[in-house]
């Protein structure tokens, strides 16, 4: 948690298309509000005292409505958003660098945010996929034209990924993992990845592109996959188990 402590400056979104799509999906967000969020900047100042984390927040979207809230990791709390509307949330801290916030906003609906410290940057990402155990996964690789790591991916392939339904079947024996992966965008093709935690391995994506990857686990319910794809560049996929669902976030 110490890596979060201090004041962070929020810059204008570097991925406006992605943010625009997210806001479009939110109920209660009109065109005026969306424009405010797209151009907003602000600050987040974290302080820790014992088990209590206090966060002071400002934003140019609501310049006169700075607020402060406190929470304990894993415990639900009630609070008010910048516009005065109430919400309920639970924030869970994983290790020193990851914070996951889930909740329900009275006006904007359910949400889930993952904040991760990487060097001198605090990256904030809304979850972009949820897998149901024994079910299907939609939009695991949600690609956006304005993201550098998506270089080399033609528009027609991006569209395929946005619409695809895929599956992952895990078999674990000690430190050795075996994962079966397939998707309807490549019918009849099933890939098998075999690897040991913390050790680099090589594999192939469904589109035939090669990659190198290192998979690690954090506790019983979180999996991190740091990947370098010959077409798409470097990125990280984080998978978290919550009940019978697996939440997937791509950085």
Give the per-residue pLDDT at 55.
94
Q: Are the CB atoms for 208 and 187 separated by under 8 Å?
A: no
- What domains, with CATH codes, occur in the chain? 2-126 (2.40.128.20), 129-250 (2.40.128.20)
Burial of 217 (0-12, 13-18, 19+ CB in 10 A): middle
- Among residues 162, 199, 226, 201, the alpha carbon closest in space to that of 21 is found at 162
What is the value of pTM for the model shown?
0.50
Q: How much is the pLDDT for 167?
A: 77
Q: What are phi and psi of 180, to 5 degrees?
A: -100, 135
Nearest-angstrom CA–CA distance, 55 and 44: 6
DSSP 117-136: EETTEEEEEE--EEEETTS-
For residue 131, what pLDDT is reported? 41
Q: Are 117 and 236 in contact (CB under 8 A)?
A: no
Question: Residue 135: its pLDDT value, please?
Answer: 40
What DSSP letter does each residue of 186-239 carry, written as one string? STT-EEEEEEETTS-EEEE-TTS-EEEEEEEE-TTSEEEEEEEETTTEEEEEEE
pLDDT of the residue at 137: 33
Q: What is the pLDDT of residue 94?
A: 84
| Tens digit of each residue's pLDDT, the chain (251 residues) | 788 999 888 765 555 455 544 555 455 566 776 677 767 788 899 999 999 999 999 988 888 878 899 999 999 999 988 888 899 999 999 888 888 888 888 877 777 788 888 888 887 766 544 444 444 333 333 333 333 344 555 666 666 666 666 777 888 887 789 988 887 777 778 899 999 999 999 999 887 889 999 999 887 778 899 999 888 788 888 888 776 677 777 77
pLDDT of residue 157: 64
Could you tell me the sign of the dihedral formed by the alpha carbons of 106, 28, 130, 14, in that order?
Answer: negative
pLDDT at 244: 65
């Amino acid at each position: 948690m110490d890596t979060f402590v201090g004041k962070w400056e929020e810059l204008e979104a570097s991925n406006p298309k992605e943010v625009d799509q997210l806001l479009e999906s939110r109920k209660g967000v009109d065109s005026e509000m969306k424009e405010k969020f797209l151009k907003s900047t602000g600050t987040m100042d974290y302080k820790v005292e014992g088990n209590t984390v206090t966060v002071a927040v400002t934003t140019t979207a609501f310049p006169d409505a700075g607020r402060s809230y406190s929470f304990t990791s894993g415990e639900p709390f009630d609070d008010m958003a910048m516009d005065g509307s109430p919400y309920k949330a639970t924030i869970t801290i994983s290790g020193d660098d990851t914070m996951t916030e889930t909740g329900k906003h009275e006006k904007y609906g359910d949400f889930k945010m993952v904040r991760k410290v990487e060097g001198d940057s605090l990256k904030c990402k809304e979850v972009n996929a949820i897998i149901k155990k024994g079910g299907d996964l939609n939009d695991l690789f949600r690609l956006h034209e304005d993201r550098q790591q998506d270089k080399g991916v033609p528009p027609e392939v991006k569209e395929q990924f946005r619409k695809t339904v895929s599956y992952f079947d895990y078999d674990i024996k000690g430190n050795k993992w075996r994962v079966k992966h397939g998707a309807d965008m490549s019918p009849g093709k099933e890939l098998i990845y075999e690897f040991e935690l913390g050790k680099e391995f090589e594999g192939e994506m469904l589109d035939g592109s090669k990659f190198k990857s290192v998979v690690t686990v954090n506790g019983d319910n979180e999996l991190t996959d740091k990947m370098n794809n010959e077409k798409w560049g470097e990125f990280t996929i984080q998978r978290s188990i919550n009940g019978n669902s697996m939440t997937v976030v791509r950085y």
